[in-house]
Chains A and B, each alone.
Chain A
Amino acid sequence: MVNINNIIIEIRTDGRLIYEEKEDDSMLQATQTLEWLIQQLGHTTDMVNKPLKSNQKEATLVFIKTLVDSDKIQQMIIKPFFEIETRGNFIDYLHSLPDGQEITSQEQMLSELSKGSIVVSMNNYLFMFDIKKVHTNTVPITSLENTVLGPQSSMSEDIHTNINLIRNRYHQPTLTVEMLELGSKSIQSLAVIYDRELVDQTALEQIKYRLEQLNSKPLIQSTAELQRLINGRKVSLFPFFMITERTDRIVYNLSVGKIVLSLDGDPSTIVAPAIFTDFMAAMDDKYHSKLYTKFVQILRYVGLFITLLLPGFYVAATSYNPEILHTELALSVAGSRVGVPYPSYVEVTFMLIIMELLIEASIRLPKTISAAATTVGGLILGTAITEAALASNIMIIVVSAVAISNFAIPIGELNSAIRVLKYVFILFATIAGLAGLTFGLLAIVMYLTNSESYGEPYLKINIDLKSKGEQQ
């Protein structure tokens, strides 16, 4: 491996610049490297090896056509090449271009070329510039997390645009961006962004440590995958990172000292560490009036409890302790269950599974069929099942209430966790009725308080009087 150092020592005498050529065989090295690069890339048709010649200047350009921005090549390199008179001046010019990259090794040059850099060889000097063209830098509108008021732009799929968006909302010089590369095959860039003064140092160190452990993974395409890898747990149900696409949410989290991980090619960004109450807060809470916000927050928690406990409560109340319901209600429930052939917990599970299938299917349905699916779903889960006495009327109400209140939870990750959790509660209620439900609740509380997200306790009521602005 030949190590070419293209930092040229300049000696100024009489105001003129003199170039000292380092070694005699450096010229040979430069040409050797170039040949090696061309040979490595020679098999692909989109490699371009272009010699430029003008007066006494000679240069060679090597790049991969489909990656680079040809306008930029034209403007940045080719035109000046023909406009600048002397060779020396052109080399000065190339030095002073801001897009230059440091060359460390042949392999590095090769890898950079496959990312969209251009190698310019002039005499025996090698320059490398980053002029990649991105097509994914449009700034879309938020699709997953919607708010009524406030900014509507979401992250794009290009990492530089994303950092641009973030920096534009957070004009602090302490905002630090560290770039890492992930994936031995895909070599994606990962930006670790944090505010140097406010960040939680222990969490930062832990995250960086975990990221360094990931050298063996060949392909990391999305932040969600990344999240699972640096979770630190083999099996987890609850999310310990927040994934968001909203720029305002990211910036808010930065301002309270969290760390943001953004992967090139994925609009979702990871915010760590994240605790339970973060998942129950939507950005809307900051944009509406205070009382309305309180009302909506309470509503969300009510929704959370309904979706977790209602199916279990139904099982407990019908099969174990029917004296807990009002007489008329108990008679209603008994009446509506007349003719249903199986016990209540089977009924509940069966209806919920069908509803889950409906939800799963509607994610993957092409838009043309979605209308038909909703009709079918409504018909099946609605009147037809009760008419056929496969489920009771009240069951339908329970299932719809559960489904609707499930989606009141703002962040999708917790949503999914809760969807699985309610089956656990149904299990507890089946074994021990109402007492089992309470025990299940206590067990989940214990489990959640026992977990930590990078040193922060997961479930904790923060009523610090001098709050440092924890998110809601």
Chain B
Amino acid sequence: MSRYFYYLVVVEFVGSILSVIPSFLFESSKKGTIMSMLLALLAGVAFIYWITKFFNHYPGRGLPELLQQHIPKWMAFPILFLFSLAWFIFGLKTLLNYSFLLKRFLLPHLQINWIIALLLLFITYSFFMKTKKLLYTLEIVLFINIPLMIYIIGILYVNTGLDWDYVKKSMMYVYHAPNLLAFSASFLIFIGASNLIIVNREFKNKQKLTTFQILLLCVLGAWILFTNYFIPIGYNGFERIQYINFPWILGTDSLKVALAFLERIMFVFLFLHISVTFVNIIIFWHVSLELLKSTAKLVRRKQKESNMITYIFVLVVWSISLIISMKITESSYLMYARSLFVAFPPFFLLVLIVCWFISWRDKHDNRSLKTN
């Protein structure tokens, strides 16, 4: 597979550590998170496998083109619109969590809507970028951040502050029934590959997903889940970890490393966080925008409309984000996020069903073509 595919998957892996997912995992830490994580690992890898295999059949084409070709318009339009909305909500939830974190740790003096406005200023520039350029940006940002990330995680594992007894204790809770919230939260780590619905347009050569690559992704996903869940436990203790709001930030703050002129590793981690989450958001919203543009193309076939759509999107994004930011607090955010998270796995099942439907129609059309 092209290396950009891996970037998409990896950025979601890394981004998951920095989002609200660990908090949800810890919420049910005494009630069967481990089982849920294992299930989610299987489900996630299966998801990546299926969706990648589907898109490998159609090099150079994204979901909108395929829908247009094989599905009648009245069905394709709501599907595309729904997907666009879903991706928009992903981006929005990430943005909100991001701004909470910024307010807490780096910009305590700015009000939250100023922070969101600042973020949106930069994100808006990305709306005018093409998919290919976005992938290059992703590459460069990951290039700078992955070594930092490996360094931090390496230090986390090796530091004497990590007490494996706590980890082992948490592992002893393995025989509990899996928990829906924990399952959904862990599953969401694997959705990076779903961005293929638009990014596949750039993969013009025929791609192949070999077994070795699947295994690699499986191992990587498992390791990320492990790190995501167990490392903060090792540093923060197990008992009351569900009451910690930002377990990873507190965890990295527990490292005493003499790093050049920086006092706390937490800041390096924050830098990492800022860049990766930012790229995450722009990818989600880019997919959402492209889906929206394709709905417009479905309805009217004129090219000029696509710029109008972009401006409308900008307006919508700004207004919704600012309005929500003024009304929401950390706890209400958690409440909404909880229900959203639970709704996502079925949504991705829907995505897979749509893909399967397209391939069925394709075979059906081909068969009828062949017979004719």
Which residues does chain B contribute within 8 Å of A432, judged by CB atoms?
A: 107, 110, 118
Instruction: Kindly report which residue of chain A lies nearest to residue B272, judged by CB atoms.
Output: A438
In Å, the complex CA distance between A463 and B271 comes to 26
The answer to whether B141 has its CB under 8 Å from any CB of chain A is yes
In Å, the complex CA distance between A137 and B233 comes to 75
The answer to whether A18 has its CB under 8 Å from any CB of chain B is no
In Å, the complex CA distance between A323 and B261 comes to 11
Which residues does chain B contribute within 8 Å of A274, judged by CB atoms?
A: none
**Residue contact A439 to B136, C-beta cutoff 8 Å:** no
The answer to whether A346 has its CB under 8 Å from any CB of chain B is no
Residue of A324, A329, A435 with most chain B CB atoms under a 10 A cut-off: A435
The answer to whether B129 has its CB under 8 Å from any CB of chain A is yes
**Residue contact B267 to A438, C-beta cutoff 8 Å:** no
A436-B267 contact in complex given A325-B262, A461-B139, C-beta closer than 8 Å: no
The answer to whether A447 has its CB under 8 Å from any CB of chain B is yes
Which residues does chain B contribute within 8 Å of A457, judged by CB atoms?
A: 132-133, 136
* A: number of interface residues (CB 8 Å): 29
Shortest Cβ distance from residue B273 to the other chain A in the assembled complex, whole angstroms:
9
Instruction: Kindly report which residue of chain A lies nearest to residue B102, judged by CB atoms.
Output: A435
Q: Per DSSP, are chain A's interface residues mostly helix, strand or loop, or mixed?
A: helix
Instruction: Kindly report which residue of chain A lies nearest to residue B271, judged by CB atoms.
Output: A438
**Residue contact A326 to B263, C-beta cutoff 8 Å:** yes
**Residue contact A438 to B274, C-beta cutoff 8 Å:** yes
User: Which residues B185-241 have CB closer than 8 A to chain A?
Assistant: none
Which residues does chain A contribute within 8 Å of B118, judged by CB atoms?
A: 431-432, 436, 439
Which residues does chain A contribute within 8 Å of B320, judged by CB atoms?
A: none
Q: Mask for B90-104, Cβ within 8 A of A = 1, else 0? A: 000000000000100
In Å, the complex CA distance between A433 and B271 comes to 12
In Å, the complex CA distance between A324 and B122 comes to 24
A442-B106 contact in complex given A323-B263, A449-B133, A449-B136, C-beta closer than 8 Å: no
Q: Per DSSP, are chain B's interface residues mostly helix, strand or loop, or mixed?
A: helix
A438-B263 contact in complex given A321-B106, A450-B133, A457-B133, C-beta closer than 8 Å: no
The answer to whether B75 has its CB under 8 Å from any CB of chain A is no
Which residues does chain A contribute within 8 Å of B133, judged by CB atoms?
A: 449-450, 457
Q: Mask for B266-282, Cβ within 8 A of A = 1, else 0? A: 01001100110011000
Instruction: Kindly report which residue of chain A lies nearest to residue B267, judged by CB atoms.
Output: A324
**Residue contact A461 to B143, C-beta cutoff 8 Å:** yes
Which residues does chain A contribute within 8 Å of B143, judged by CB atoms?
A: 461
Instruction: Kindly report which residue of chain B lies nearest to residue A321, judged by CB atoms.
Output: B106
The answer to whether B74 has its CB under 8 Å from any CB of chain A is no
The answer to whether B126 has its CB under 8 Å from any CB of chain A is yes
The answer to whether B140 has its CB under 8 Å from any CB of chain A is yes
The answer to whether A210 has its CB under 8 Å from any CB of chain B is no
In Å, the complex CA distance between A461 and B137 comes to 10
The answer to whether A445 has its CB under 8 Å from any CB of chain B is yes
**Residue contact B262 to A445, C-beta cutoff 8 Å:** no
In Å, the complex CA distance between A352 and B310 comes to 40
Which residues does chain B contribute within 8 Å of A324, judged by CB atoms?
A: 262-264, 267
In Å, the complex CA distance between A332 and B261 comes to 12
Q: Mask for A289-318, Cβ within 8 A of B = 1, else 0? A: 000000000000000000000000000000
Mind listing 26 A-B residue pairs with CB under 8 Å? A321-B267, A323-B264, A324-B262, A325-B261, A325-B262, A326-B261, A326-B262, A327-B263, A329-B261, A431-B118, A432-B110, A432-B118, A433-B106, A433-B107, A435-B106, A435-B107, A438-B274, A439-B122, A442-B278, A446-B122, A446-B125, A446-B129, A447-B125, A450-B128, A457-B136, A460-B136
